[in-house]
Structure 1
């Protein structure tokens, strides 16, 4: 696959993920939060398992354990988002969840005691400033939905770090499929406890579930690792930074959501912070790597 085709596929995946906030909001009109998550990831798991059923025969217990842990973290991510969307806009949700790019290096500093690069510090300051403008209203209060979306970004950052460790010893595709199944299974249990799980009863509900399950989850999680092999991590990070832009576009075009001037300024600062952490951080790291011996560089 040529890099241009791979990058176009990653843009399509990013567009799917950007649209997911709108579809989640649509689904919440007739379904409970855990019910929505269970249907979304349950459908995605069934499709992915059928498509890669031969690959799944090689699953071992280590892969199952990682799949369960990552499924639990994925449940945390989308529980926060779905509950958060009840009191915030799809635009805010998209930009706040995208803070994952900023939280990953911060958690590496706190957990693994890694040194943070100056561009990442700069990006974090920009992003935090943007959060303030996006979420604080005239009375300096933050909506609960905004806080939940920020928490979802923390969950997502932890999920990324655990995934990085898991794929070193287990099959990455099998882990990806299993985490979808476990996330859907955990959500179904919680739906039985706190809700009354049902199938969608309206056309918008079915559209939301099918779009979330097929395009945003199954296709997204399958296309991403395949396409990512044929482009650079820096380009991938820049493409994924477009997710909140797509979320804002779909929110504006289909739901009539508009940000205030303060909101647009905050969104721009969040996006700049993400780009600074992702792009400038890589540029800062590359000269250091180029001076390292090849054997040491291969382990990074």
Structure 2
């Protein structure tokens, strides 16, 4: 129980870091194209982790084998899809919207875990996911009408990719060292972003771009904190909890994104946004309540009457 509590708090910290970086990334990609930004971000993170491993965990590197490369590569593919689609979506939608729509992974994960890991969703997870869905619906309301722009659509597919990443991480995290899995998946993302950036984006590699405070600050924050620290934490602690629980904890990410967008980018939340945010929080509370245990206890009490 203590390990699960520590895991939950650690993953909540990860959700905060990810939520707080939406505004930072959105500012940076106005100067550096999204795939190029992610390529530099993940190369920096991968190199940092590799140097760290060589200095302090060299014996661990001897454990690198084909199964580790396959597991980390598979995780990296879904991670790439999530970040690529999310960063492109930020070109066309707000930080708050991107954060909340990314939270759709909360709804998707329990069903993916059931399909691929045969983990039946708990009553708590289903009710919490339903409440989060209601909240996400209100967050896509525009003047009382439901509407989705191009950026929202990109981020929706990003949510699907992140949901797969959570499930795949849950499958492999307990079988292989967290550091090795993190290094492999990060380099996988770096390589894939680099290839697609060369193929589909105009080259913007010049000193003027990287000299801008918005760009180098975003690269440092996202590579060291939102990538290295965050994915080491997720890969290490997810083994002590379930994919559905991780997804519900990560549903706090859009709440943190909205708060930081309000504080740093002056993005205002409408009435519908506030309702949606509140619904997600209620969904989190419902998911954490021991509802299934309460129902079982009540049934036992009825049988004894």
State the TM-score, normalizing by the size of structure 1: 0.82
Match for residue 266 of structure 2? 256
Q: 1:286 to 1:189 in 2, by over 3 A?
A: farther
Residue 92 of structure 1: how far off its partner (Å) = 1.9
Shift of 1:258: 1.0
Match of 2:159 in 1: 153
Name the CA shift for 1:128/1:224 in 2 (closer, same or farther; >3 Å): closer
Distance in 1 separating the partners of 2:265 and 2:277: 18
Shift of 1:68: 1.6
Q: CA deviation at 1:197?
A: 5.4
Coordinate RMSD, CA, aligned: 3.0
Q: Is the 8 A contact 1:99 1:270 kept in 2?
A: no
Contact 2:129 2:248 in 1 (8 A): no
Matching residue of 1:297: none
In structure 2, stretches of 5+ residues that fail to align are 297-305
2:99–2:258 CA contact under 8 A, matched in 1: yes
The answer on 1:220 being equivalent to 2:234 is: no
1:198 aligns with 2:205: yes
Q: For residue 169 of structure 2, what is the aligned residue in structure 1?
A: 163
Q: Given that residues 95 and 271 in structure 1 are in contact (C-alpha distance below 8 angstroms), is that contact kept between their aligned partners in structure 2?
A: no
Deviation of 1:70 (Å):
1.3
- 1: CA distance, partners of 2:221 / 2:28: 10
Change (3 A) 1:285 1:156: farther
Residues 275/75 of structure 1: CA separation in 2 closer, same or farther (3 Å cut): farther
The normalised TM-score by structure 2 is: 0.81
Measured after TM superposition, the shift of residue 208 of structure 1 is 0.9
Partner in structure 2 of residue 295 of structure 1: none
After TM superposition, the structure 1 stretch with the greater mean CA deviation from structure 2, 218-227 or 177-186, is: 218-227
Task: Say if 1:159 and 1:208 are closer, same or farther in 2 by CA, change over 3 A.
Answer: same
> Aligned-pair distance for 1:48?
0.9
Q: How many residues align?
A: 284
The answer to whether the 8 A contact 1:68-1:182 is kept is: yes
Counterpart position of 2:299: none
Mapped pair 1:208 → 2:218: yes
Q: Is the 8 A contact 1:27 1:205 kept in 2?
A: yes
Structure 2 residue matching 1:68: 3-state secondary structure: helix
Listed one character per residue, the Cα deviations across residues 29-61 of structure 1 (whole Å, up to 9, x for unaligned) are: 111111011111111111111111212232001
Q: Name the structure 1 match of 2:86.
A: 81
SS at match of 2:78: helix
**Shift of residue 164 of structure 1?**
2.0
Hey, what does 2:189 align to over in structure 1? 183
**1-structure distance, mates of 2:273, 2:151:** 15
Counterparts of 1:1-300 in structure 2, within 5 Å, are 10-53=11-54, 54=58, 55-111=60-116, 114-138=119-143, 139-195=145-201, 196=203, 198=205, 200-225=210-235, 240-276=250-286, 278-280=287-289, 284=292
79-88 vs 255-264, which deviates more?
A: 79-88
Contact 1:29–1:205 (CA under 8 A) maintained in structure 2: no
- Are the structure 2 counterparts of residues 164 and 12 from structure 1 closer, same or farther at C-alpha, using a change threshold of 3 Å? closer
Long gaps (5+) in structure 1: 289-300
